[in-house]
Amino acid sequence: MALPTLKDVAPTFPRRQTRQVSVGKVTVGGDAPISVQSMTTTKTADVDATLSQIYALAAAGCDIVRCTCNEPEAAAGLAQIIPRSPVPVIADIHFHYKLALAALEAGVHGLRLNPGNIRKPDQIKAVASEARDRSISIRIGVNGGSLDPDIDERFGGATPEALVASAVRELDYFREVDFDDVKISVKASNVRVMIDAYRLLADTVDYPLHLGVTEAGPLPGGLIKSVAGIATLLSEGIGDTIRFSLTADPVEEARAGRMLLETLGLRERKNVDLIACPSCGRAEVDVIKVANEAQAAFTDRDIPLQIAVMGCIVNGPGEARDADLGIAAGRGKGHLFVRGKIVRVVPEAEMVSALIAEAEAIMTDGIDAVLARADVNAEAISAAAREELVQIQGIDANSDASRIAKVLAVTDPVSDAQAGSQA
């Protein structure tokens, strides 16, 4: 069966209509591309370390970076970070509204306020007024783990209704000072609660929404929970910017967010889409090892091709014929194919380096030029290798009627014996 390619997967998720807000040069909501966010883990006062992480995040596909602003030194750090950052910077504010005012003075492109942690209306309105005067947007960042106690009590816990009520109350304070340059998140660590909260919020307001499963945890569970929540909502057209909250290097968050959007056809592909067979008894190489080596080799190379690693020459090129480029293992050899056509046969040890060289050639010269340079003997060598393997292993055991008939014939005596014992 041919594997589907990204080219076959048209974006099929009509976006929910929202207002638009700006975070520096990035527009969020409306018809703007869904953006990827992450958060630095350095002390914001450590300007060089924070900038270094911001650059790594931007290279991994992060569109907007958030830094904690939890002390005056952090606000001072922001003043030095922001002019040198390649992407807009949002200050994350809990508890101290004056740190929000200091972050605005430092020139941040956006604020995140937690309504559960800054609860005095006058303080909330003071921040909103200052943001309004500076044309800076604010995310109302409700979090199920730090809900306003009186809302928590009223709703009996961090229910979807409670999360949305917290956001709506904050919005009401903002409107009192004529501020609505807002996006909203209602994150929970329980994926079902998170999904239901965002659905309810999407039915309640028309502001852009920032999606995330909070405190999702380390890999792989954190990734699974985040994808389950975020992808479910994106497939319903809900969500304008996303963040994976992983207990991992934030670069992994940015990569995961970007990869999810590319996988769903919601952002243009920036990096390789590696497909690989799951391997089976036919495999002539350690497919997991080769695929992992290829994945590592292509990371950060900005090669937006679909590349296949297949375990055998018998089925590999056919099953991955829609890939731009691939390699299938034969006995001690790698059979390099472009759009299903064998272009070169290389020693097994050079499989990954040959993939990289061919991918770079496609990026430089185009697929047609690479096909035109194909080794004229490659198809014949591969055909002979395939035939040799077929003779040794038999044709695909999943579909070969003659093999199935032979298997059934072996069971006949068993059936006969059972029939005899029942008689």
CB of 294 to ligand SF4, least distance (A): 14
- Radius of gyration over alpha carbons of the chain, in Å? 27
CB of 287 to ligand SF4, least distance (A): 6
Residue 57 vs 314, nearer CB to ligand SF4:
314
Whole-angstrom distance, CA of residue 8 vs CA of residue 191: 29
CB of 9 to ligand SF4, least distance (A): 21
CB of 410 to ligand SF4, least distance (A): 22
CB 145 within 8 A of CB 189: yes
Whole-angstrom distance, CA of residue 208 vs CA of residue 182: 7
Q: 158: which 2 tokens? A: 């961090």
Residue 77 vs 316, nearer CB to ligand SF4:
316
Whole-angstrom distance, CA of residue 319 vs CA of residue 269: 22
Whole-angstrom distance, CA of residue 1 vs CA of residue 334: 21
Residue of minimal Cβ distance to ligand SF4:
311
Residue 144 vs 317, nearer CB to ligand SF4:
317
CB of 31 to ligand SF4, least distance (A): 41
User: Residue 333, class by beta-carbon neighbours within 10 Å (0-12 exposed, 13-18 middle, 19+ buried)?
Assistant: buried
- CA-angle at 241, arms to 167 and 140, nearest 5°: 20
Question: What phi and psi, each to the nearest 5 degrees, are found at residue 7?
Answer: -65, -25
Name, in order, each residue with C-beta under 8 angstroms of 66's C-beta and a sequence gap of 6 or more: 37, 38, 39, 40, 89, 90, 91, 92, 112, 243
CB 122 within 8 A of CB 177: no
Residue 116 vs 317, nearer CB to ligand SF4:
317
Whole-angstrom distance, CA of residue 291 vs CA of residue 352: 9
Whole-angstrom distance, CA of residue 399 vs CA of residue 388: 19
Q: 82: which 2 tokens? A: 């922001």
CB of 390 to ligand SF4, least distance (A): 12
Question: What phi and psi, each to the nearest 5 degrees, are found at residue 94?
Answer: -130, 140
Residue 213 vs 352, nearer CB to ligand SF4:
352
CB of 4 to ligand SF4, least distance (A): 16
Residue 77 vs 311, nearer CB to ligand SF4:
311
Residue 316 vs 334, nearer CB to ligand SF4:
316
Residue 212 vs 330, nearer CB to ligand SF4:
330
CB of 171 to ligand SF4, least distance (A): 53
Q: Which residues bind ligand SF4 (CB under 6 A)?
A: 277-280, 282-283, 310-312, 314-316, 319
CB of 329 to ligand SF4, least distance (A): 8
Residue 369 vs 404, nearer CB to ligand SF4:
404
CB of 205 to ligand SF4, least distance (A): 48
* Residue 92 DSSP one-character state: E
Residue 65 vs 277, nearer CB to ligand SF4:
277
Q: 312: which 2 tokens? A: 């055998």
Evaluate the CA torsion angle 41, 46, 49, 50 in order and state its sign: positive
Evaluate the CA torsion angle 152, 90, 76, 246 in order and state its sign: positive
Whole-angstrom distance, CA of residue 100 vs CA of residue 398: 63
Residue 229 vs 316, nearer CB to ligand SF4:
316
CB of 337 to ligand SF4, least distance (A): 12
Evaluate the CA torsion angle 404, 407, 409, 414 in order and state its sign: negative
